[in-house]
Structure 1
Amino acid sequence: MKTLATDFLLKESPNAIAIVDTKLNFINYSNQWQSDFTPNKTDIIGKPLFDGISEMPILFNYAIKVGLTGKENINAGQKFILPSGKVQWLKWKISPIRNDINILEGLVIYLEDITADKRELELLQKAETVARIGGWEVDLQKNSLYWTKTTKDIHEVPEDFVTDLAQGINFYKEGFDRDKIAKLVSAAIEKGKPWDTELIIITQKGNEVWVRAIGEPEMLDNKVIRIIGTFQDIDERKKIELAHEEITERLKIATQTAHIGIWEYHIQKNELVWDDKMYNVFGVAKDQFSGVFEAWESTLHPEDKERALAATSKAISGEKDFDEEFRIILQDGSVKHIKGISKTIKDINGTAIKMTGANWDVTELKRTQLKLERNEESFIKTFDNSIIGMAMVGFDGKFIKVNKSLANSLGYSANELTELTFQDLTHPEDLAKNVSLLQKVLDHELESYQIEKRYVHKNGSLVYVVLTTTMVKDLDGNPSYMISQVQDITSKKEAEHNFKETSERLNVATRVANIGIWEYHIANNTVQCNDNMYDIYGIPKGTADLLDEWLKHILPEDVEKVTTALQRTINNHAPLNIKFRGIKPNGKIIHLVVIGEAQSGNDGKIEKIIGSNLDITALRSTELQLERNIESFTETFENAAIGMALVSPQHDWLKVNKSLSDILGYSEEDLLQSKTLDITHPDDLDKSTKVHDKAYKGEKDTYQLEKRYFHKDGHLVHVLLGVTVVKDLDGNPIHSIAQILDITDRIESEKKLQSLVEVTKSQNDSLMNFAHIVSHNLRSHSTNMTMLTKFLSQEEDKKELKNINRMISDAAESLSETITHLNDVVQVKTGALENLQSTSVLNTIEHIKKSIGGLLEEHDAIIKIDIEKSHFVNAVPAYLESIFLNILTNALKYSSLDRTPVIEIKSKLKKETVLITFKDNGQGIDLKRHGNKIFGMYKTFHKHKDAKGIGLFITKNQIEAMSGSIKIESVIDEGTTIFIELKQS
């Protein structure tokens, strides 16, 4: 009965207890043991202890081994980190079991998992430390005060510090804070009233700390016996709150000054909150804004949307804060440039819950920057790609920057030229005139000048140029440097031309202005400001009388305007909004805008003015620089030695200079009322249009080509055209800058030279061939005559002598015929060009037709003539008759025996030539077999008794002597077509 009771008590014990034998096999255990340590085992009697327990610390295993030695082992509670990483708090007691004869029979194991209690206590202690929250207790019966460790840390006292209620109150800052806590403690003691307040204490180390003190009285028999509470360090938060309150008004003024809108986006709720300025920036009425993310997204410019949304995603994910410039489209279709920044706020789990940020309108500055960038880009491209030499030159004559064209003209590299001056390269006889004109520019007698002068090339030769020099001024209107355009006219002096383009120079820079925030306190006539104000004016920080120092840094001419506006704000509560100029200690003048707002006290009187200064020097400088650059371009444009024009995408002349009018013969008014295509040669229209369209589609920013214009008097003007496309702020082409160089003289010279070269080459080739033929034919006749003469001297038979004499006679006749042919060829090759004259193709054909009328009638031939009366060619009339006669007689000589001869003669214009075609239906020629020798001397292709092989050879030489060409197409037994091309008269 006793054993049953023991087993029952063990099973129902609220503690985890197990009994094991010396082999550590279960003898018995409590239900709590099974629940806590072997929940997955139903019956563990006789099973090993550690088979049932999934994981235990090594120290517990050691304790079991100690128990098996007969010793008791107790652990009052300890934290363990198990091999799996699990954290567990355990306490145990292991007692040995002995029998009546004191022999060890097993162990009683008491094991308790106290993890839950210990973890909660540990977390509370950590939370107290992290949150800087301490506890305290006042025992009114013992008049004692207890502080926890964190409370002592906040007061900066040692851990063994002991205090009482009176001393604790004395830690509060003397004055308001100490009086208030004393009153709260008294009310708690007397009336049982709790408190929750925020006050300042002075720590034992003398530091001021904001704390939150909470007190809760405990009562017994309607009497307070003790007060317990918490004590929290809120110094950082409180100082932030106070600083926030202090800068809120300043932030308000700053956002108004810079057009800054503040917003918050609650990510989980998809709730977007804007301040009033945001609605102004985005041009949206409050009742039209839905307050969701998509409402902001819908305003984004399509080209910027993907980038802005990607930046937003990165900000939400924590990868990178939002800091972007993007464009928005307002309801009226206009575009604004916006600068946006934000911070992402996350919860304790690291999940983004809110974004807070600001947007401000930077459209005006952006437009100015883009305009300057476009002008800068246009100038650099035009400068670098100009077809004429360009240079930036200092007033000492030193080359600052040169382009490739100038380097090529003078034979030096760009780096070599920047080590030289124009004086080093100018011909000594031209130097005095050049220096004199430059001095007049420096003395402001001239804005620019143009002269012809000579440079000395690197190889020692002279380079003749037209030099156009224009002064470039800085923002203050002072001379900065010179832009020189160097048009190489050496080729003109030597009957050749080699020019390059010229264009405008716009070189500006800009920077964003800082904002200075200030407060003017009227009563004591003092000013407080942020660091930016000191930086803007160059005022030393810590200046005693900041107002006086500020006024000293306003340009004297503007002081009255500023003080008057300031007094108007004080007197009339009027907003302060003026622009003025400041001056830095180094004498630099800055441009500023000031905006301010009066602040009234409780009595309605103005106590102070809060305002801001915005440095707009960069913007103002940018505008002035742009004006200067436009002025420089205009002067360069008007004074350029080559033709220059602005041309629209539709090919309209928008603006032209005098040089272009001189080149084309039209007045400026005539050109501005027409298009470039109106005076372009028809054969150049397609080329001009294609390259023009490619440039305006963005495929290229600049291009060059040679083309032809019609002069007003009708003659052709050959030009080298250089074009640079100019784009607007959105990158769309608006017009192009065209540079037009007249190269007519060069083209005509090249054509004439080329023609002479081709004729000479042809004649040389033909004469070389002729020399080989002469050598071969005369040698053959000579050998034949020598052999026959030898036979004659040795022969005695009269009959044979007569036969030899006949052969000698035939050989002599053949030699005479050969010499006649060779003489005809020589006559063709010499003097043809000097005898060219305008000759009618139709009249020549009709003349030949009459001369061979009998032959045509004999063959019953049909001639079809389709030739215009207006077709005239440059030819030697005798050659032309010989050519036509030879072709027509050959057509009859080699006509087909199976059909009536039909000869078709046609002509048509082909650019600057006349194409004459002779087509017959005769025997034809096997061109695969004879094509490469069709025009050879003494080459025959048919078995005809009269065939000599000289006709086509002479015909080809006659045509080529007149700068023409001949080609043959033929099919055996179908006929032959001959194509003759001669220059049109």
Structure 2
Amino acid sequence: MTNKHDIYLKAAESAKIGIWESDLETNSLYWDSITKHILEVSDDFQPEYGDGIGFYSKGENRERISALIEKAIKEGASFNDKFQITTAKNNIKYVECICRVETKKDKVVRILGTFQDITKEQNLINELELSVKKFSSIISSANDAIIIIDTLTGIITDCNSRSYELTGYKSTELVGLHNSILFPIEKRKEVRLFLSNQLKKDNHFVNETYIKTNTDQLIPVEVASGKKFTVDNHTYLVCFFRNISERKNVEDNLNMLSLVASETSDAIIIADPNGETIWANKAYLKLTGFNLDEILGKTPRSFLNGPETSLMTIDEINKAILNKKCLKTTILNYNKQKEKFWYESSITPVFDNQGICTKFICVGRDVTISKEKELELRRILDVTNIQNDKLFNFAHIVSHNIRSHASNLSMILDIMESSEDVTEKLSYIDMFKEGTEKLSETIEYLNEIITIQKNTNIDKKPIFLKNEIEKVKKALSKVILESRIEITNAIPDNLTVTVIPAYLDSILLNLVTNAIKYKSPKRRSILEIGYEINEHYTIINFKDNGLGLDLNKNGHKIFGMYKTFHGNDDARGIGLFITKNQLEAMKGKIEVESEEGLGSTFKIYLNEK
């Protein structure tokens, strides 16, 4: 090589440009160190003729270099092109290859040229082209109208297809217009200030205004600006316009509905999908006594429940919220002052376009007055039914018992009338007298029952229970002594009960005398009087070890009138019947536990209310 050639090689090496040549006469190939470095082969690699083509990526790149080399050899055509190669280490690179030819007697004898790695530059170009494609794709497919404005002149320099749909202008009409043509006259100053402000701040900004279409239709839009950019000393601003007509209509409707909801007399509360409060109207706040800040983020059940709120209804509400179902219900609530009120409501879930529950709306009203009337009517009906049942039973008793006595007396009179013997007639007078006494006794019992059932409003009084029991024991002291029954009184001295004193005296007398009448002859008789107190009643227990009863056989009639079970001569079957009526008149009740041959326990439940 000549000195000039050496200088050229050194210059190329400094510029990281590879040198290659192919001698067609000797079929030899030369690569300098830069070329070998680009192809990632070793420095001592000796290329053979035709080796270079194998480094070009298969497909279009290899086919193109092959065609260019063939044309250079056959036609002497030089070339300058860019290619993708795959190096010896299987790395992808981009190179620029320049080829020149030497000829002798019009025949190409040698091709030579340069080989330069342009991978970084090509990657940047590829990324830029990809960005341009992405940008173009985004611009063309964006839902918003995108308009690019020359900030110096205010002229529209570019826009996407959505801009034509929004403004009504054709593509050939919109580009080149001043941006102010898009806005109504009264909005132009506002928009000009907005754009000017964006140029000063150079940051993202959103505002609302109106677009005037080419048919003079006004469309509400949300306008947003991106950062400005500069190309060839021209500054541009990208503006995004979004049609918000539908949103405006929704907002107007919501404002109107909000006004209606706020002012309606119905109590309305809105909750999130978990049932937690996000809004309530004035009527709801007035009804509950809370202010909005006190209930936001809380479930209504957390601040409306009270001791008498129905757990079953609460469960129904919780299930409706969990399953996102509608529910109509009436529930007893408590306001902030812990006052009761009945709330009739309709709970409705609201779903979005994807079927996801976004909120619950509960619309209700205070139905306390009507509910209390309903409950009072139900109570009256219950009392009426009970009284009707008692009246039916009483009528049956009267009909049966008085008719029996009347028939007996009538029969005795018939016998007396039919007899001619004076002595015989006189003998029937004692029978007639006994019959009239029994009739009088029956009428007395029936009058007592009527009095008990009639006088349900007699005032109760608090009395010391132990004292009343001791009074009864004293009144029956002779009988107790003769029967040798042991009575233990475990009632505390200070225990008071609120009762009708005369009724309690009768109840205690009946239960103590029953324990004496039906004592067992097989063992010493014991009567234990104790007590217990629960939420609703004071319960007095009378436990004896007497004859007992077979409750499976007689339990259903033990408190009936004229029901006796042991054949005692002095048994009338009226005591427990009267006791039951007296307790019911005081809103109490009586129960019995008994086992034949072992004894009985009578429990009287005294209602303190």
What TM-score range do you get, normalising by the shorter chain?
A: 0.5 to 0.7
Structure 2 CA distance for aligned equivalents of residues 800 and 906 of structure 1: 58
Deviation at 1:960, TM superposition (A): 3.1
**Aligned residue type for 1:835:** I
1:181-216 CA-to-partner distances (Å, cap 9, x unmatched) read xxx99x975xx2255889xxxxxxxxxxxxxxxxx9
Question: Which residue identity lines up with residue 921 of structure 1 in the other structure?
Answer: N
Aligned counterparts, 1:744-763, within 5 A? 744-763=368-387
2:172 match: secondary structure:
coil
Match for residue 613 of structure 1? 239
How many residue pairs get aligned? The number is 508
**Structure 1 residues 676 and 706: CA distance shift in structure 2, 3 A:** closer
The yes-or-no answer on 1:832 pairing with 2:455 is yes
* Cα distance change on mapping 1:683 and 1:817 into 2, 3 Å: same
Query: Offset at 1:858?
Result: 3.3
- Residues 903/855 of structure 1: CA separation in 2 closer, same or farther (3 Å cut): farther
1:66-145 equivalence runs, <5 A: none
* Structure 1 position 779, deviation (Å): 2.9
Distance verdict in 2 for CA 1:905–1:682, change over 3 Å: same
Q: Which runs of 5+ in 1 are unaligned?
A: 1-126, 136-183, 199-215, 226-241, 259-340, 342-511
Matches of 2:439 and 2:192, distance apart in 1 = 120
Report the equivalent of 2:33.
none
Q: Given the alignment, which residue of 544, 547, 550 partners 2:176?
A: 547
* Partners of 2:198 and 2:225 within 8 A in 1: no
Match of 1:919, SS state, is strand
Pair 677,882 (structure 1): closer, same or farther in 2 beyond 3 Å: farther
| Structure 1 residue 869, shift from structure 2 partner | 5.0
Distance 1:599 1:780 in 2: 122
**Is 2:341 the counterpart of 1:718?**
yes
Whole-angstrom CA distance in 2 between matches of 1:537 and 1:717: 61
- Give the drift of 1:655: 8.7
Q: Please give the residue correspondences for 1:580-659 in structure 2 after superposition, counting only pairs within 5 Å.
A: 581-585=209-213, 586-595=217-226, 597-601=228-232, 606=233, 608=234, 612-618=238-244, 622=247, 629=254, 633=258, 636-637=261-262, 639=263, 641=265
What is the deviation of 1:937? Answer: 1.9
Letter in 2 for 1:936: G
In the TM superposition, 1:533-572 aligns within 5 A as: 533-543=163-173, 546-548=175-177, 550-556=179-185, 559=188
Change (3 A) 1:557 1:795: closer
Return the offset for 1:870.
Answer: 6.3
Q: 1:17-28 to 2 correspondence within 5 Å?
A: none
Q: Contact 1:719–1:740 (CA<8 Å) still a contact in 2?
A: no
**Which whole-Å deviations, capped at 9, do the CAs of 1:531-564 have from their partners, x for residues lacking one?**
2221232213432x63326430134455457667
Do the aligned residues in 1 keep the contact of 2:279 with 2:292 (CA within 8 Å)? Answer: no
1:254 and 1:613 map into 2 onto residues whose CA distance is 17
CA distance in 2 between partners of 1:793 and 1:565 (Å): 127
Contact 1:516 / 1:612 at 8 angstroms: preserved in 2?
yes
Is this contact kept in 2: 1:518–1:530, CA < 8 A? no
The answer for the alignment partner of 1:808 in structure 2 is 432
Task: Give the superposition deviation at 1:947.
Answer: 0.7
Higher relative contact order (CA 8 A, sep 6+): 2
Deviations 1:418-442 (A, max 9, x none): xxxxxxxxxxxxxxxxxxxxxxxxx
- Distance, in Å, in 1 between the alignment partners of 2:346 and 2:516 is 59
1:965 aligns with 2:601: no
Say if 2:269 and 2:361, in contact at 8 Å, map to a contact too.
yes
Contact 2:342 2:371 in 1 (8 A): no
Q: Report the CA distance shift for 1:553/1:934 in structure 2 as closer, same or farther (over 3 A).
A: same
Letter of the 1:885 counterpart: L
Matches within 5 A, 1:337-416: none
1:863 CA displacement: 3.3
Is 1:866 the counterpart of 2:496 in the alignment?
no
Which one-letter code corresponds to 2:379 in the other structure? S
Matched AA of 1:613: C
User: Quick one: distance in 2 between partners of 1:719 and 1:799?
Assistant: 79
Name which of 539, 544, 561 aligns with 1:937.
561
Q: What is the CA distance between 1:627 and its match in structure 2? A: 9.6
* 1:93-242 matches, cutoff 5 A: 192-193=76-77, 222-223=105-106
Deviation at 1:927, TM superposition (A): 1.1
Q: Secondary structure at the match of 1:910?
A: coil
Measure the CA separation in 2 of the matches of 1:252 and 1:557: 34
Q: Match for residue 514 of structure 1? A: 144
The aligned residue for residue 161 of structure 2 is 531
Contact conserved, 1:651 with 1:676, CA < 8 A, in 2? Answer: no
Q: 1:513 touches 1:615 (CA, 8 Å); kept in 2?
A: no
The answer as to whether partners of 2:275 and 2:321 remain within 8 angstroms in 1 is no
Q: Is the 8 A contact 2:324 2:349 kept in 1?
A: no
Identity %: 25
> Could you tell me how far apart the structure 2 residues matched to 1:775 and 1:567 are?
107
- The verdict on how the C-alpha distance between 1:224 and 1:656 changes in structure 2, with shifts beyond 3 A counting, is closer
1:441-482 superposed Cα distances (whole Å, 9 cap, x missing partner): xxxxxxxxxxxxxxxxxxxxxxxxxxxxxxxxxxxxxxxxxx
Name the structure where helix makes up a greater proportion of residues: 2
What SS does the corresponding residue of 2:597 show, helix, strand or coil? coil
Provide the residue aligned with 1:891 in structure 2.
515
RMSD over equivalenced CA pairs, Å: 5.8
More divergent stretch after superposition (866-875 vs 216-225): 216-225
- Partner SS state of residue 615, structure 1: strand
Counterpart Cα distance in 2 of 1:591 and 1:841 = 83
Give the secondary-structure state (helix, strand or coil) at the position aligned to 2:177: helix
Q: Are the counterparts in 1 of residues 77 and 101 from structure 2 also a CA contact under 8 Å?
A: no
1:922 and 2:546 aligned: yes
SS in 1 for 2:401: helix
Alpha-carbon distance in 1 for matches of 2:582, 2:154 = 112
The residue that corresponds to 2:525 in the other structure is: 900
Compared CA separation, residues 709 and 868, structure 1 to 2 (3 A): farther
1:673-712 correspondence runs (5 A): 681-684=306-309, 704=329, 706-709=331-334, 712=337
The Cα offsets for residues 783-819 of structure 1, whole Å up to 9 and x where unpaired, read as 3333333333444566654543333333333233233
Cα distance, 1:642–1:861 mapped onto 2, change above 3 Å: farther
Q: In the alignment, is the contact (CA less than 8 A) between 2:270 and 2:361 conserved in 1?
A: yes
Letter in 1 for 2:180: L
Cα distance in 1 between the residues matched to 2:605 and 2:445: 25
Residues 835 and 626 of structure 1: CA distance in aligned 2, closer, same or farther (over 3 Å): same
Give the C-alpha shift of residue 885 in structure 1: 2.0
Distance 1:697 1:765, change over 3 A: closer
The separation in 2 between residues aligned to 1:919 and 1:732, in whole angstroms, is 65
Q: Aligned partners of 2:431 and 2:219: how far apart in 1?
A: 114
Indicate if the aligned counterparts of 1:537 and 1:582 stay in contact, CA closer than 8 A.
no
Calculate the TM-score normalised by the size of structure 2. Answer: 0.64
SS in 1 for 2:146: strand
C-alpha separation in 1, matches of 2:415 and 2:438 = 19
Evaluate the alpha carbon distance shift between residue 709 and residue 841 of structure 1 in structure 2; reply closer, same or farther with a 3 A threshold: farther
What are the equivalent positions in structure 2 for 1:841-860 lying under 5 Å apart?
842=465, 844-859=468-483, 860=485
What residue in structure 2 maps to residue 115 of structure 1? none
Q: Is the 8 A contact 2:261 2:281 kept in 1?
A: no
Q: Write the distance in 2 (CA, Å) between the matches of 1:528 and 1:808.
A: 128
Partners of 2:278 and 2:331 lie apart in 1 by: 21
| Alignment match, 2:5 | none
